[in-house]
Structure 1
Amino acid sequence: QKAAQDAESQYKEKSKDMSDADKQKLHEELQKGLEDKQKELVEPLKKKVDDAIVAVGKTKGLTVIVNEGAVVYGGVDVTADVQAELQKQAKKN
């Protein structure tokens, strides 16, 4: 959110005397920067969650773990186990 606010401030400051084409180019550059920042922040978290899911799967002898929304019937909910694994990993770091 802070990066988005900073980008908006930069846009307002830099675009004052720009043509529409230059404003569009600046907007695209700032948008790309925000996408890169989001990826930088989200990817490590996604990897931690994926690692926790794999660890729980191995511990429980599961070969497939799917998102709860993809399940129509049956299955075993391992959400609490994954959360516990994430907490365990966080304590190690």
Structure 2
Amino acid sequence: MSIGKFEGVAEALGRIGGLNYLLEASRTLTTTSLDMGQKPGIVTAIAKYHMTEISRTILNDSMDIHAGRAIQCGPMNYLSSAYLGVPVASQ
């Protein structure tokens, strides 16, 4: 059975997909306003905060899906550097 057929994994994958769609929409909104010559300082600050928090959720779901592989540091773990960088991203 494929891993995506398991209920817990399917739920996390669905959340990851939906949140990535939301992140892309936020990025498009802010960059389009910059391209139009506007100065959306407040919008970009709010977007950064929410995008950072959403990224945490996505990364935690990714770590859950990868299970034991995600907690072992090494060259085959492509999530560890992102996970270690999360506290810095929120600064």
Q: Confirm or deny a common fold (TM above 0.5).
A: no
> What TM-score bracket applies, with the shorter chain setting the length?
0.3 to 0.5
TM-score of the two chains, using structure 2 as the length reference? 0.38
Q: Which protein has the larger Cα radius of gyration, Structure 1 or Structure 2?
A: 1
TM-score of the two chains, using structure 1 as the length reference? 0.37
